[in-house]
Amino acid sequence: MPHRPYIVGNWKMNGTRAMLTEARAIDRAAARHPGVQVALAPPFTLVHAVAEETQAVGTGGQDCHTAAKGAHTGDVSAAMLADAGADFVIVGHSERRRDHGETDTLVQAKAEAALAGGLGVIVCVGETLAERDAGKAEAVVTMQVKASLPKLDEGAKANPARMAVAYEPVWAIGTGRVAAVEDVVAMHGAIRATLLSLYGESGAAVRILYGGSVNAENARDLLAADGVGGALVGGASLNAESFLAIVAAAASEA
Ligand code: PEP
């Protein structure tokens, strides 16, 4: 694995302050695995508390607005996330694309706003089952990467290590269905080639994570696969024990 493996828990719309117990347990264990970069993306309401109560774990938001501030009721900017203690943000998750009609153009603007606001950014891409069955998975994902990642400018060039792409086949999210390792390897190869074409040699520093029903049982095989730089984990990140089993699998691959 060329980069320090990056294991990110996406809590989605789950968690009240009682979940801080899990965050603290994850933090204690992450400190024992310095070879793995561990992070949590709790709901906005817990970003500040998770950031305050953890040291070894990064803290992120699950979305940000394209603007730094203004009349956008219910939205949160990258600057606000940074002020709350976040160091990164996830943008373009398929649940936001589905629930909020987010397009590649909007996701790109959010990713650029994240970098401009001083945050790292994880941009999610992935095909639907119909697109995979039609043999279009690679074309769809390549297009999403080109259209959703920050445009090549000084920000993106200066910050390749602050950027990650999460390849998350939509049909594998929260379903218990995991992509075959050979398909993950092929897709990660296609994404890397696209990153190099977008950013030149800086594209080699962008991490590529796999997401979609990663758990303690399948993590080792997925994380050992060629080109897989880590995992974006939904359901299995809600519980310290199951999330830490994935972190331990990453440590054994590091
Ligand atoms: C996700 O939503 O980013 C995700 C990968 O979810 P799950 O692990 O539950 O499939």
Q: Which numbered atom of ligand 1 lies nearest the CA of 237?
A: 8
1 domain-assigned: no
Q: Which residues line ligand 1 (CB under 6 A)?
A: 10, 168, 173-174, 211-214, 232-236
pTM: 0.97
Q: Which numbered atom of ligand 1 lies nearest the CA of 166?
A: 3
Residues 252 and 220 sit within 8 Å (Cβ to Cβ): yes
Q: Whose CA is nearest to atom 3 of ligand 1?
A: 234
CB atoms within 10 A of CB 225: 18
43 domain-assigned: yes
Which tokens is 18 given?
Answer: 């009682």
219 domain-assigned: yes
CATH of the domain at 141: 3.20.20.70
pLDDT, tens digit (0-9, with 9 covering 90-100), for 165-193: 999 999 999 898 989 999 999 999 999 99
pLDDT < 70 positions in the chain: 1-2, 154-158
Q: Which numbered atom of ligand 1 lies nearest the CA of 215?
A: 8
DSSP bridge pairs for 233: 9
77 domain-assigned: yes
pLDDT at site 1 = 41
Q: Whose CA is nearest to atom 8 of ligand 1?
A: 234
According to the 3-state scheme, what is the secondary structure of the chain? CCCCCEEEEECCCCCCHHHHHHHHHHHHHHCCCCCCEEEEECCHHHHHHHHHHCCCEEEEECCCCCCCCCCCCCCCCHHHHHHCCCCEEEECCHHHHHHHCCCHHHHHHHHHHHHHCCCEEEEEECCCHHHHHCCCHHHHHHHHHHHHCCCCCHHHHHCHHHEEEEECCHHHCCCCCCCCHHHHHHHHHHHHHHHHHHHHHHHHHCEEEEECCCCCCCHHHHHHCCCCCEEEECHHHCCHHHHHHHHHHHHHHC
Q: Whose CA is nearest to atom 7 of ligand 1?
A: 234
Catalytic annotation, residues = 93, 168
Which tokens is 11 given?
Answer: 């809590």
Q: How far is the CA of 92 from the centre of ligand 1 (A)?
A: 13
12 domain-assigned: yes
113 domain-assigned: yes
Counting ligand 1 atoms within 8 A of each CB, the residue from 168, 209, 228, 243 with the most, and so the one to mutate, is: 168
Q: Which numbered atom of ligand 1 lies nearest the CA of 10?
A: 3
Question: Parallel, antiparallel, or unpaired for β 163-167 and 120-125?
Answer: parallel
Residues of the domain holding 124: 6-253
CA distance 79 to 67: 9
190 domain-assigned: yes
pLDDT at site 186 = 98
pLDDT at site 254 = 72
229 domain-assigned: yes
CA distance 179 to 184: 6
In the chain, the number of structural domains is 1
Q: Whose CA is nearest to atom 4 of ligand 1?
A: 234
pLDDT, tens digit (0-9, with 9 covering 90-100), for 198-240: 999 999 999 999 999 999 999 999 999 999 999 999 999 999 9
Q: Whose CA is nearest to atom 1 of ligand 1?
A: 234
